[in-house]
Structure 1
């Protein structure tokens, strides 16, 4: 559905940010789309998202609108030693609009502000990407003019940005849970399949040697131990007609 109003686009962006329970989920594409939605909905020149794990940036995404993806990624990368993203992530709270020139003069984030001035960024703000007590990273918005901090307009921008970031936090948590459940299901299925192969091999050896299944299992396990092979691998070899020591 095509949404023409800002409210409609905002609602669609929230749904998109939370919709991550899919086998085809790609973190890079997801972060780029989210950054693009920020530029569409806010008075933003560019936007970027950084995901952080154990204090290290693990994924970056920049808005592609206006061909500024590389610029957004450069501004995120310049925050290795400090910046609005790290500050928001560290505190778990938004960083209100900051004048880049003022921050540069006070050496608040030297490396970042130098890059931001080079790219013509006038102001920036950041919000944490979070879900309850879990912090995933931060969303950074770059604007071409300094917001009037005495007005309510920038507060509205901050609220919209935080709502998008919160939806992303929900989406990332859901995707993490989905990936974990799929991994566990895969492990359980493999364990079940392995057990079935072992039981099948036991039956084949018992029939081949005219012995009981317990004796057949002892032989199967002994062969695996002597050859230092996984029991499941030996069982598969038996099913495929391979030889097994009876000793």
Structure 2
């Protein structure tokens, strides 16, 4: 691949993998696009992610390019394979020749399935953010990268393909973790906004009742609180009913008269 073309494709891959701070983000759509960038950038047949959450649940996602091939090879790693090796060690698995005897002995089921699909080489890199391992990215090739030396199973070249894959995996991990943080922040912001809006409604309703009854605001608040507790309703809902003028004013007044012996808010 011409150098400038590869640089452009790498830039596209990194931008795609970092673009996760959006409300409509879905990993099921995001990860295949990133895997497709790997296929184009690395001249691979297919690529896929094996992600493992903190509870040990495994999820598999493949490139749209030769999707079924990638998924089959990811599933074939139940008994061992490049993804599990990379995830287990936290280190890359250098390009290996599928037909080499050491590879067949190392991952028999995976090797059989790979050869059946015409895959002759593979490598994998961990997907992680700092010390948090999320899974592994597996690349499947129909022609070995220059750094793989068949029939051996270790890299002998400059490792460019492996480094590029690791760069994309690192950026993917960053994108996934950033989205998790984004969701947490949006959720917290929503909860705080809801709490603030609720408090505003309660204060507004308290003031309306105090003015209507010509009484202290604390007295009006006690009435709403007692009304809400006796009917097992959220205080915010009672406040909204007061604001909308649909609350039973006579019942509220009776609650105010009963009192509850608690400090006035």
Q: TM-score range by the shorter chain?
A: 0.7 to 0.9
Higher Rg:
2
SS at match of 1:152: coil
Q: Is the 8 A contact 1:125 1:140 kept in 2?
A: yes
> Which runs of 5 or more structure 2 residues have no equivalent in the other structure?
256-265
Q: 1:129 aligns with which of 115, 127, 130?
A: 127
CA distance, structure 1, for counterparts of residue 169 and residue 115 of structure 2: 25
Q: Is the 8 A contact 1:103 1:113 kept in 2?
A: no
1:38 equivalent in structure 2:
38
Q: 2:247 aligns with which of 226, 242, 247?
A: 242
CA distance, structure 1, for counterparts of residue 242 and residue 75 of structure 2: 55
Q: Is the 8 A contact 1:200 1:239 kept in 2?
A: yes
CA distance, structure 1, for counterparts of residue 57 and residue 138 of structure 2: 14
1:203 equivalent in structure 2:
207
2:23 equivalent in structure 1:
23
Instruction: For residue 80 of structure 1, report the CA deviation from its aligned partner.
Output: 4.0
Q: How many residue pairs end up in the alignment?
A: 241
Instruction: For residue 6 of structure 1, report the CA deviation from its aligned partner.
Output: 0.9
Greater mean alpha carbon deviation, residues 156-165 or residues 85-94: 85-94
CA distance, structure 2, for counterparts of residue 51 and residue 186 of structure 1: 29
Q: 1:168 aligns with which of 168, 172, 182?
A: 172
Q: 2:91 aligns with which of 76, 90, 93?
A: 93
> Which runs of 5 or more structure 1 residues have no equivalent in the other structure?
none
Q: Is the 8 A contact 1:50 1:57 kept in 2?
A: no
Q: TM-score, normalised by structure 2?
A: 0.81
Q: Which digits, 9 at most, give the CA deviation of each residue in 1:182-215, with x for residues without a partner?
A: 1111111011011111111212222333321101
1:156–1:216 distance in 2 versus 1, CA, 3 Å: same
Alignment of 1:43-82 (within 5 A): 43-57=43-57, 59-65=59-65, 68-82=66-80
CA RMSD, Structure 1 to Structure 2 (Å): 2.3
Q: TM-score, normalised by structure 1?
A: 0.87
Instruction: For residue 29 of structure 1, report the CA deviation from its aligned partner.
Output: 1.6
